[in-house]
Copies of this chain bind each other. A is one copy, B any other.
Amino acid sequence: MTSQRRTAQKQAVYDALRALDHPSATEVYAYLQGKEPAVSRGTVFRVLSVFSESGRVKKLRLLGDEAHYDHNTSPHAHARCRLCGMVWDLQGVPAPLALPEGFLLEESELEVSGVCAACAAKG
């Protein structure tokens, strides 16, 4: 049996996830630098991996090259501005398309990208 232990590092990583906006592991690590408790890079990856496997956070594979993590685990989609990189949560899930016969839907991940109003205004 593998019971989860409560540690300062796990709490710090989870707090970072809420303080930042859909951060990558690298961004979480950078955010925690110089803070207490110290958290190593390896631990950031390990904790995020444990969290996403236990369903406490959702691992996103969109938004560029690195994986990003979302503490909001309710079903929702994301909109990202191509220019400033800002991310918005979109409530609800997209309407299901015609799935293959007999396909049992478990998860869905949708990202739309484009240009946000602020960036469009800047020219």
Contact = CB atoms under 8 A, between A and B. Distances in A.
Contacts of A103: 79, 81, 88, 114-117
Interface stretch (A17-25, A31-39, A93-101): A93-101
A65 B62 CA distance: 11
24 contacts: A61-B61, A61-B62, A61-B64, A61-B65, A79-B100, A88-B100, A94-B94, A96-B112, A100-B117, A102-B120, A104-B114, A104-B115, A104-B120, A105-B112, A106-B113, A106-B115, A107-B113, A108-B110, A108-B111, A108-B112, A109-B110, A109-B113, A110-B110, A110-B111
Given A61-B61, A62-B109, 20 more contacts: A61-B64, A62-B62, A65-B67, A79-B100, A88-B100, A88-B103, A92-B97, A92-B98, A94-B94, A94-B97, A95-B95, A103-B116, A104-B115, A104-B116, A106-B113, A106-B115, A108-B113, A109-B111, A109-B113, A110-B111
